[in-house]
Amino acid sequence: MTAPLIISGPHTHSKFSVTETMIAVMLCLTPATALGFYMFGLPAILLFAVTIASALLFEALCLALAARPVGRALSDGSAILTGWILAMTLPPWAPWWIGTVGAFIAIVLGKHVYGGLGQNPFNPAMVARAMLLVALPVPMTMWVLPAPLLSPGAPDLGAALAITFGTPPADIDSVSAASTLGHVGAALDGGRTLDRILPETFDLHRLFFGNVPGSMGETSALLLLVGGVFLAAMRIIRLNIPLAVLGSAAALSGLLHLIDPGQFPSPLWHLSSGALMFCAFFIATDYVTSPVSGVGQLIYGAGIGLLVVVIRTWGSFPEGVAFAVLLMNACTPLIDTYTRPRIFGRDRRGRPLKIDEGDAP
Amino acid sequence: MIEAVATMSALGLGLGTILGVAARRFHVETPPIVDEIEAQLPGTNCGQCGFPGCRGAAEAVAEGAAPVTLCPPGGREVAVTLAEITGAEPPGSGGTGQDAEPVVAFIFEDHCTGCTKCFKRCPTDAIIGAAKQIHTVVNDACIGCDACVAVCPTEAIILRTKPRTLRNWHWPKPGTPADATL
Amino acid sequence: MSLISLSALRRTAGAFAGRGGIHPETRKYLSADSPIEAMPLPSILRVPLQQHIGAEAVPVVARGDQVLKGQLIGKARGPVSANVHAPTSGKVIAVGYFAAPHPSGLPVSTITIRPDGADRWGARLPRLVPEQATPDEIADHVKQAGIVGMGGATFPSAVKLDLRKRFALKTLIINGAECEPYLTCDDRLMREFSEELADGIAIMARALGVEQVIVAIESNKPQAIEAMQRRMLAIGCPARVTRVPTLYPMGSEKHLVQAVTGLETPARALTAELGVVVHNAATAYAVHLALRYGEPLISRVLTVSGFGVTRPANVKVLIGTLVAEILDHCGGLDGTPDRLLLGGPMMGLPIRSQRVPVIKGTNGILALQKSETRRHREMPCIRCGGCIKVCPCGLMPMEMHGMIQAGDLDKAVDIGLLDCVACGSCSFNCPSNIQLVQSFNYAKGRLAFQQSQKHQQEETKRLAETRKARMDAIAEAKRQAMARRKAEMAARKKREAETETPAVPAPAPTAERTG
């Protein structure tokens, strides 16, 4: 026969591949991304393009340095997806070099330093986001009010190029605004109570549909939810992680809200604001850095949900998704070790089952 | 200043004394590992390692004068066990010899005169036959030690890789060319 | 709410205690509607003496002998072995080594018969009325007939029938799951020969002394289920057909037992310890032929299928028929197939040559085109967990693979390598096309090799010791003989000296030495 190797079975395959998985995730991200493009206009599109292009460039460089086939590995789509997710977490009007530096951190420091696809312990996009946030707090928190494409307030191409590649126009401050989380956090620190603050910014309807300041991935909880449900329906992800993240976040914030509604916002506010929804479906579910067993995924997801609420409530950063994900990434090997599935015919500790005499059929 | 130096010196002296006493008092005689090593060797005294018998080889390994991979009949198994005993670097797969295909002796019957020299030398009685009759090798018993090859007056014995059969065949490691394993 | 309802919609494999199993494309439609056809006598038969698990049979015919159909040509050696019979009448033209139907293509001891075309029966097995025979007699008859498990494992059936001596058996499960894609031979057998099968099942039930019989058939074979259901009354003890979900690897013995009875067989144990014995449907047919007609196992039904075959079919062939002749019978190959397999696409073995025979355990010949086979392009593991999700044994294939790649076989064993049944679900589902099963097969083979090396070393040591003991004994004997001879010599000399010079006193040297 033509096969030069002795190949063991199975000789048939499910036709499910890494590339298809990556493409499916991107497809599910498309609605939320498109809304982000619409809301934040041309600068957001430019930044998105720059980030993904940089990610591809760094991926190619690393592969070439490691003397691995560049074309083949590039086509798996993992670098594009990392760049995409990173771009979704950046302020939409950030300058181009934020995207490029972020892509460098994600691809080189977050992934290839560990040996490339499948070897990295931490989510590359979150490594990049966390480092950028700590190193460059000002540009990373420069949020703008949505200025939908083609609306009178939206920048035209020239202005967009200037925002992304040149010096930002002097009047950028006029459109800048605090994200919901940042605003509430700052106001709470200022000693005001929620019943006073919330009416100023909090509009569940707007949060849910995305007409709020923030990064592209923080805007429309609804479209992200739709994408996530599609992802689960295509059986790319299991719902264990998303449900655990959202459930635990809702549970903890609900408990706090019951204790003192003046100090702690409601669970619905937590779920619909910030990057929690994005995290639950698209970041925490990253195959490489999450546990593999069902139970492990529940533990991992619950850890992220709780940490997000804790960081948002008591931490010094308004949003805690990146840190929560990284912390739980670090626990993944441990979770995997302790949540092995039970082997057929053996008990949880690996000993063969005992035959019960009264067990006969 | 002087106080500091004095304190440090006193401290050093005191601790040093304690350590010295402890070293003497709790000294553990390292168990002789020669016997343990010898127990792992085949005990055929075949001489392939170049040492006088398995005892000599065990002594050499214990002293570190010989590598753990010195025993060809023992193969990788023995090498790994010896590495465990001596704490030496376990044989990697990239090294020479230790993972090689096992070899066995093979007698060209045309050349065999039935002189019985070989089976007198065979350490495992793997050669069967009698005077003036053609000898054959029992593959399962042969350790490929070369002793018979050396004594054969007609050079009728060679070592060849153990023939593969359906019983000892196994799947190659994925990605290995099939020809390399056959 | 949508989340919850969607999660409920996910296909779960409830049959294997809520986990594992895959749904490969079955493609059984290719051959499911072709009735079983008998193949004309082939031009040559190559009958291997090793067609079963256990020891090779010993040839009892020599080159040049004339054999008759059904004549014993290879005799079972040892308790786990099986007889081999001549599939037709003809002349033995060779007794020697020939390429085995195996991926390695290594030679196996084979008897080659040139059929004379007459297909004349020799003496059949002795008559036995199963209704009056004792279980021992039935088991012995099955043993004489050389029947082995025909689902592919080829374990001698008589040994399995004898399990009643060691365990209290309650249930006989007939494995009609046929979960491998493409294969339809058991399906056709159950549809067309349900009466004969029921008879074979009844005989086996009697031999095993079980209380009930369950025929397990996957839900994608409604006609077979219906056909078998009609015959259940004929079996004589409480018998029923159970429809099991279509889920690979339902045909795996321990998983089938769990799906049917809910009992989980402990690791390293036999299902018989739970009172359950599983036999394949085709085996029941062979038992029927052996008991009712005295016909040993000399033919079997197999499926010829795949996009690479011109005319997919279910064919009854003689054991020893060459794959090439069977393919010719089915219209030959359609183009150059990517792979030629013996067995199903999940666990079947690739063969390199068409000039190998089919044996008792061969349930299919598949010629797969490129569009049907697995891709080779392997990518790094992305830890998606897909292999863990589908493993019916609850293992973590990706982790075991990693350990094997790193050369740490012992660690792989610690996390369950030896509990793997090599069903292939993990490789099937792997998005990175990692050859997990081959990795496990390699590791298992490697472990067996190490085991045998260890065994050989102990043997070597034992041999060396016996040799040393013998050499010592010889040396000791020589020394003693020498000493005895010396003593004799001395005594004789002394006697001679005494007879010659009786008056002379004892020789001085002795006195000197002692002094």
User: pLDDT tens for residues C177-197?
Assistant: 999 999 999 999 999 999 999
- Euclidean distance between CA atoms A256 and A254, whole angstroms: 5
Structure tokens at C426: 């993990």
Q: Which residues of B touch C452 (CB under 8 A)?
A: 168
As given in the structure block, the two tokens for residue A65 are 């340095």
Give the residue from C81, C79, C26, C20 showing the smallest Cα distance to C53.
Answer: C81
Task: Say what the pLDDT of residue A360 is.
Answer: 45
Q: What is the pLDDT of residues C462-495, one digit of tens each?
A: 887 888 888 889 899 999 999 999 999 999 888 8
Q: How many whole angstroms separate alpha carbon A156 and alpha carbon C397?
A: 54
Residue B62 is assigned to a structural domain of this protein: yes
Confidence check: pLDDT of C70 > 60: yes
pLDDT at A209: 66
What total number of domains does chain B contain? 2
Number of structural domains (chain C) is 3
Task: Return the CA Rg of chain C.
Answer: 31
Q: What are phi and psi of C424, to 5 degrees?
A: 90, 5
* Band of pLDDT at residue C315, cut at 50, 70 and 90: very high
Please list, residue by residue across A163-183, b when 16 or more beta carbons sit within 10 angstroms of its beta carbon and e when fewer do. Answer: bbeeebeeeeeebbbbbbbbb
Letter for the amino acid at A69?
A: P
The tokens of A149 are what?
């494409």
Cβ(A329)–Cβ(A123) below 8 Å: yes
Distance CA C462, CA C453 (A): 14
Instruction: Look up residue B17 and give its two tokens.
Output: 């004394």
Q: What is the pLDDT of residue A203?
A: 65
Residue C456: how many other CB atoms lie within 10 Å: 21
What's residue C461's pLDDT? Answer: 79
Quickly state the pLDDT bin for C303 (edges 50, 70, 90).
very high
Q: How far apart are the first and last CA of chain C?
A: 116
More confident residue, A293 or C377: A293
Residue pair A76/C431 in contact (Cβ under 8 Å)? The answer is no
Residue B154 lies in a domain: yes
Q: What per-residue confidence (pLDDT) applies to A36?
A: 87
Instruction: Dump pLDDT digits (tens) for B103-157.
Output: 788 888 888 888 888 877 787 788 887 777 778 888 877 877 777 888 888 888 8
Query: In the predicted model, what is the mean pLDDT of chain C?
Result: 88
Q: What angle do CA C423, C426, C428 make, to 5 degrees?
A: 85
Q: How far are the Cα atoms of A229, A277, A330, C201 from residue A289, in angstroms, in the given order?
A: 21, 18, 9, 52
The answer to whether the Cβ–Cβ distance between B125 and C466 falls below 8 Å is: yes
CA distances from C153 to B53, C82, C156, C312 (A): 47, 13, 9, 24
Residues in chain B: 182
pLDDT of res. A261: 84
Element (H, E) at A218: none
Residues of chain B in contact with residue A8, where contact means CB-CB under 8 angstroms, are: 171, 174
Chains touching B by CB (3 or more pairs below 8 Å): A, C
């707007």: which residue's tokens? A206
Does C10 contact A at CB distance below 8 Å? yes
Of the candidates C482, C380, C396, C382, the one whose C-alpha atom is nearest the C-alpha of residue C440 is C396
Distance from CA of B76 to the nearest CA of C (A): 9
Distance CA A311, CA C112 (A): 78
My answer on whether B111 and B76 are in the same domain is no
Residues C209 and C333 in one domain: no
Domain for residue B177, yes or no?
Answer: no
Position C12 scores a pLDDT of: 34
Q: Which of C293, C324, C358 is where one domain is finished?
A: C293
Assess whether C423 and C456 both reside in one domain.
yes
Q: What is the token pair recorded at C357?
A: 């025979």
Q: Is residue B120 part of a domain?
A: yes
At residue C255, the pLDDT reads: 93
pLDDT at B146: 75
In this predicted structure, the answer to whether residue C398 has a pLDDT above a threshold of 80 is yes
Cα–Cα distance, A155 to A133 (Å, whole number): 26
Hey, are the CB atoms on B177 and A8 less than 8 Å from each other?
no
Give the CA distances from residue A224 to residues A18, A235, A283, in Å, rounded to whole numbers and listed in that order: 22, 16, 12
What is the per-residue pLDDT across C320-343, written as a single tens digit (0 to 9) for each? 999 999 999 999 998 888 889 999
Which amino acid type is present at position B23? A
> What is the spatial distance between Cα C352 and Cα A9, in angstroms, rounded to a whole number?
14
> In degrees rounded to 5, what are phi and psi of residue C389?
-60, -40
CA pair distance B177, A209, nearest whole angstrom = 57
Residue C485: give the domain boundaries. 386-491
**Is residue C357 included in any domain, yes or no?**
yes
pLDDT at position B128: 82
CA end-to-end span of chain A? 48
Q: Find the domain containing B58 and state its range.
A: 34-86
Give the per-residue pLDDT at C514: 41
DSSP label of A243: H
Residue C119 shares a structural domain with residue C163: no
C220 and C93 within one domain: no
Task: Express each pLDDT in C127-180 by its tens digit.
Answer: 788 888 899 999 999 999 999 998 878 899 999 999 999 999 999 999 999 999
Q: Give the residue carrying structure tokens 């011109």.
A: C310
Q: What is the mean pLDDT of residues B38-55?
A: 78
Q: How many helices (H) and strands (E) does chain C have?
A: 15, 17
Q: ipTM value of the model?
A: 0.84
- Cα distance from C493 to chain B (closest Cα, Å)? 37
Q: How distant is the alpha carbon of residue B159 from its chain centre?
A: 18
Q: How far is CA A268 from CA A141, A254, A271, A274, A277, in A?
A: 24, 9, 5, 12, 11
* C6 Cα distance to chain centroid: 43
Tell me, yes or no, whether B121 and B77 share the same domain.
no
DSSP string across C230-287:
HTGGGGSSSEEEEEEP--BTTTSHHHHHHHHH-PPPPTT--GGGGTEEEEEHHHHHHH
Q: Is residue C504 part of a domain?
A: no
Instruction: Give the model's confidence band at B165: pLDDT under 50 very low, under 70 low, under 90 confident, else very high.
Output: confident
Q: What is the mean pLDDT of residues C50-69?
A: 92
Q: Which residues of B touch C456 (CB under 8 A)?
A: 140, 143
Q: Using omega within 30 degrees of 0 as the cis cutoff, is the peptide bond preceding C431 cis?
A: no
**More confidently predicted of C357 and A139:** C357
Structural domain includes residue C12: no
User: What gap in Å lies between CA C189 and CA C183, rounded to an integer?
Assistant: 12
Is residue C80 situated within a structural domain?
yes
Q: What is the pLDDT of residues C284-301, one digit of tens each?
A: 999 999 999 999 999 999
In this structure, the number of other CB atoms found within 10 A of the CB of residue C492 comes to 10
Check whether residue C331 and residue C471 sit in a common domain: no
Count of beta carbons in the 10 Å neighbourhood of residue B28: 5
Q: State the Cα–Cα distance between residues B165 and C106, nearest whole angstrom.
A: 6
User: How confident is the model at residue B179, as a pLDDT?
Assistant: 34
Residues C427, C437 contacting (CB under 8 angstroms) = yes
Rounded mean pLDDT, C429-434: 90
Helix axes A321-338, A124-135, angle to 10 degrees: 140
Secondary structure tally for chain A: helices H, strands E = 17, 0
Sort out which chain B residues have CB atoms less than 8 A from C457's CB and list them: 42, 73-75, 77-78
Phi then psi for residue C404, to 5 deg, are -65, -40
What predicted TM-score, i.e. pTM, was given to this entire model? 0.82
Q: Are C137 and C169 found together in one domain?
A: yes
For residues A9 and C347, give the distance between their C-alpha atoms in angstroms, rounded to a whole number.
5
Q: Name the residue with higher pLDDT: C202 or C234.
A: C202
C101 touches chain A (CB under 8 A): no
The verdict on C303 and C179 lying in the same domain is no
Are B80 and B113 members of one domain?
A: no
C134 and C262 together in one domain: yes
**Beta-sheet pairing, C66-67 with C90-99:** antiparallel
Closest C-alpha to B154, from B96, B123, B106, B113: B113
Residues of C at the B interface (Cβ-Cβ below 8 Å)?
50, 100, 102-104, 106, 108, 378, 407, 434-435, 438-439, 441-442, 444-446, 448-450, 452-454, 456-457, 459-461, 463-467
Per-residue tokens: A150: 């083609």
Task: Using alpha carbons, select from B112, B161, B119, B120 the residue that is nearest to residue B139.
Answer: B161
| Residue C350: half-sphere exposure toward Cβ, Cα within 13 Å | 22
Same domain, C340 and C476: no
Look at residues C127, C246, C85 and name the one whose alpha carbon lies nearest to residue C180.
C246
**A42-69 pLDDT, tens digit each:** 888 999 999 999 999 999 999 999 888 8
Distance of CA B68 to the CA centre of its chain: 6
CATH number at residue B81: 1.10.15.40
> Which chain C residues touch B126 with a CB distance below 8 Å?
463
- HEC per residue, A117-143: CCCCCCCHHHHHHHHHHHHCHHHHCCC
State whether C109 and C174 are in the same domain: no
In this structure, is residue B137 part of a structural domain? yes
Q: Inform me whether the C-beta atom of residue C373 falls under 8 Å from chain A C-beta atoms.
A: yes
DSSP one-letter code for B7: H
For residues C193 and C176, the answer to whether their CB atoms sit within 8 Å is no
Q: Which residue of B has its CA nearest to A3?
A: B178
Answer yes or no: are the C-beta atoms of A221 and A212 closer than 8 Å: no
CA distance A157 to C262: 68
CATH code, C254:
3.40.50.11540
**Which of C447, C445, C429, C439 has its CA nearest to residue C401?**
C439
Over residues C443-450, mean pLDDT: 89
* Cβ neighbours of B175 in A, within 8 Å: 5
CB contact under 8 A, C459 and B125: no
Amino acid letter at C303? T
Please give the residue that has the higher pLDDT: either B101 or A64: A64
- Residues C254, C307 within the same domain: no
Residue-by-residue pLDDT tens, chain A, 361 positions: 344 457 787 888 887 788 888 999 999 999 989 988 888 888 889 999 999 999 999 999 999 998 888 877 777 889 999 999 999 999 888 889 999 999 999 999 999 999 888 889 999 999 999 999 889 888 887 777 777 777 776 777 777 787 777 766 555 555 566 676 777 766 676 666 666 666 655 666 666 666 677 788 777 788 888 999 999 998 888 899 999 999 999 999 999 999 988 888 888 888 887 788 899 999 999 999 999 988 999 999 999 999 999 998 888 777 788 999 999 999 999 999 899 888 998 888 888 888 765 444 4
The CA radius of gyration of chain A, in Å to the nearest whole number, is 22
Structural tokens at position B14: 């005191």
B140 touching C, CB under 8 A?
Answer: yes
Given a contact as 3+ CB pairs under 8 Å, which chains touch C? A, B
Q: Which pLDDT score is estimated for A199? A: 62
Whether C394 has its CB under 8 Å from any CB of chain A: the answer is yes
The answer to whether residue C2 is domain-embedded is no
Q: Which helix (H) or strand (E) holds C73?
A: strand C72-75
* Euclidean distance between CA atoms C225 and C227, whole angstroms: 6
- The verdict on C140 and C233 lying in the same domain is yes
Q: Which residues of C touch B166 (CB under 8 A)?
A: 50, 100, 102, 104, 106, 108
Average pLDDT, chain B: 78
Report how far residue A252's alpha carbon sits from residue A303's, in angstroms, rounded to the nearest whole number: 11
